[in-house]
Chain A
């Protein structure tokens, strides 16, 4: 424990003290965050907490942010959300899919409190939803991967076979095949969002099976570290993980909630907040890409930048037809792109991905 931490704890205590003295009607409004992991996971939760700190920095004179970390999905979540709502929080961000039904239940009982639920699909008058189109980032990465691979095998470390992850795998595949028709993707699921050892082992297994590019949809930098030590390419997840793998990281797909959290907090403060669904990608800056590795040839960088800019302008849609499913059936014909509803529930692989999804 260093001075900084002690100081921040003291600050928190002082604030809490004044809050209790002045009673419930505090001059500052409170915005709450509920996290599924510890803020020290260096992945999903870590990025949300960076967003919270951005709110504190930008609007610190008007709002006080609070958070509860490592809240398990289920009964605990509902209790913590309710406690925050009852405690006079004006806006509450619930940052995991499993908080969906608890958020709705509490929101019903507290119509004057605003709620923002991440990655869900159920909305009410005081519950909005938001998420990132991370697959847009993966589509750009897929172009780079398709160009950079020599073995034509991309290894993908997956967490759980949910639509979010499947969408990322498919976007990567479509992009990679568009520049290199021989590319395959091999997937290894670790059945955990967070188990550094096992994530690393999965990356090793994929490399041993010929992958020379490692992508991941799990939270720790372990797969990237493995890529670095084995001399293959990797892609950072959630944060820029360049310092973990300066040679191997091609780029990173960064979750960036800062702007969104500040905007929504402002809206809640000035009364313009309305329940809606934000599914923001590269354009909204919820998804951003880290600096491209210097070792990537200029033409590939150019291709990646064009792809990114195209997605931002709207001229490129990652799921533009024609797209074939793994079994050969047509998912979407030429000239159309897959709609958001289908994307949301995507549970099939596109052609070229190896392995089977649970039915």
Chain B
């Protein structure tokens, strides 16, 4: 008797919703064993990872604060991934967004205008898109693989920010420390929930999710993205331009990442620092796939990912678990979630004797 994996004729709707729960149960069971072996009360550990961080309104708001940049980057990347455009440089595009948006403030810091913040957001989107335009140009014009170009530009972007913050954009009253002036109120995202850090950037992220959803479902360009991704040749026959889609998906991804960058500096950070993202652009790649490249899925995946970070912090404070445990735990949850996906498209059968599962 052999365990066989058989492809379902079409993805199972029920399983789409059941798999996260399966993954969660498996994670819990494994963690029970792991934490017990480590001498930590497993119930307490799981409570600290999943419940304590969000058991009050402040904690819950933090979930969205942490999730916002992840969702913004992931939603932008998902369009490219659907079209087989491998932009893995969202981190760099996020940084350029912050440079462009933050740069506007650095030069107009004494301007008190309601147009300052919108201007920063728009410039941030342009900055991110321009940075992503480099891989797009090199791909369409010179056939250079975007995995390499977008990744290398991440390092360049970080160093560029470093030059600016260690040099001309330093706070003139900051004893030459590497940070910009603090942003004025007119360059700061409005808080949307009193007493928390939940800011307008989260609304931007949700609007981006909605917009992307509509675009993919209702517009021609969304249709083209999906067709080219699923069957490039068919797209070619239909007269869709592959180059156009490469340009579109990179610029879109770059703009979203750029907005994420501005949202971070004008939201929870409040100034330009030499390092403005703990790798959101990379984590967003996981979020995009965890959300199955679907806008709604990405929202949930982004929040779940955010929760594991918050949980890791809580577990460190309350249980004294080292941060390394968070990494291992995060990896485990992701493994289970990704592995459980198999049952959406496939089913397991026990293949005995003549029943050939083909």
Contact = CB atoms under 8 A, between A and B. Distances in A.
Interface in A48-71: 66-71
Contacts of A1: 38
A76 B278 contact: yes
B278 A84 contact: no
B176 A16 contact: no
A70 B324 CA distance: 10
B313 A79 contact: yes
Given A69-B322, A76-B278, A161-B166, A344 B271 contact: no
B313 A345 contact: no
Q: Which of B178, B267, B317, B323 has the most CB atoms of chain A within a 10 A radius of its CB?
A: B317
Interface string B297-321: 0000000000001100110111111
A72 to B, nearest CB: 4
A17 B197 contact: no
B176 A68 contact: no
B275 A73 contact: yes
B159 interface: yes
Given A13-B44, A345-B176, A160 B273 contact: no
B168 A162 contact: no
Contact of A16 (B177, B270, B319): B319
A16 B66 contact: no
Contacts of B264: 74-75
Q: How large is the interface on B (under 10, 10 to 19, 20 to 34, 35 or more residues)?
A: 35 or more
Contacts of B159: 191
Contacts of B318: 16, 19-20, 66, 87
Given A16-B44, A162-B176, A74 B273 contact: yes
Contacts of A78: 197, 268
B176 A74 contact: no
Interface in A80-131: 80, 83-84, 86-87, 97-98, 101, 121
A191 B163 CA distance: 10
A316 interface: no
Contacts of B39: 6-7, 9-10, 13
A196 interface: no
Given A79-B62, A161-B166, A162-B166, A74 B278 contact: yes
Given A344-B175, A358-B163, A20 B317 contact: no
A280 interface: no
Contact of B177 (A9, A76, A97): A97
A62 B146 CA distance: 57
Interface string A1-44: 10000111110110111011000000000001000001100000
A73 B268 CA distance: 11
Contact of B316 (A15, A17, A69): A69
A9 B178 contact: no
Given A75-B268, A160-B162, A347 B319 contact: no
A66 B317 contact: yes
A359 interface: yes
Given A78-B197, A162-B178, A68 B41 contact: no
Interface in B216-237: none
Nearest to A30: B317
Contacts of B320: 8-9, 12-13, 15-16, 66
Contacts of B44: 13, 16-17, 20
Given A13-B41, A74-B269, A76-B278, A358 B167 contact: yes
A346 interface: yes
B268 to A, nearest CB: 4
A38 B324 CA distance: 9
B319 A83 contact: no
A163 interface: yes
B269 A68 contact: no
A87 B316 CA distance: 13
Contacts of A79: 62, 65-66, 197, 310, 313
A87 B58 CA distance: 13
A160 B62 contact: no
Interface string A330-359: 000000000001001111000000000011
Nearest to B175: A345
B166 A163 contact: no
A121 B171 CA distance: 13
Contacts of B162: 160, 191
Q: Which of A7, A17, A98 has the most CB atoms of chain B within a 10 A radius of its CB?
A: A98
B177 A101 contact: no
Contacts of A75: 65-66, 197, 264, 267-269
A359 B168 CA distance: 6
B287 interface: no
Contacts of B179: 98
A154 B84 CA distance: 52
A141 B168 CA distance: 32
B206 interface: no
Contact of B317 (A7, A84, A98, A161): A84
Contacts of B278: 72, 74, 76
Contacts of A12: 40, 319-321
B190 interface: no
A14 to B, nearest CB: 9
Interface string B160-204: 001100111000000111110010000000000000010000000
A1 B318 CA distance: 21
B112 to A, nearest CB: 21
Contact of B182 (A71, A98, A101): A101
A12 to B, nearest CB: 3
A17 B41 CA distance: 8
Interface string B276-308: 111000000000000000000000000000000
A80 B59 CA distance: 11
B317 A83 contact: yes
Contacts of A344: 175
Given A78-B197, A162-B177, 11 more contacts: A13-B39, A66-B320, A67-B316, A71-B313, A74-B276, A76-B278, A79-B62, A83-B313, A98-B273, A101-B271, A160-B178
12 contacts: A12-B40, A16-B318, A68-B317, A75-B65, A75-B268, A75-B269, A76-B278, A98-B179, A101-B270, A162-B176, A191-B159, A345-B176
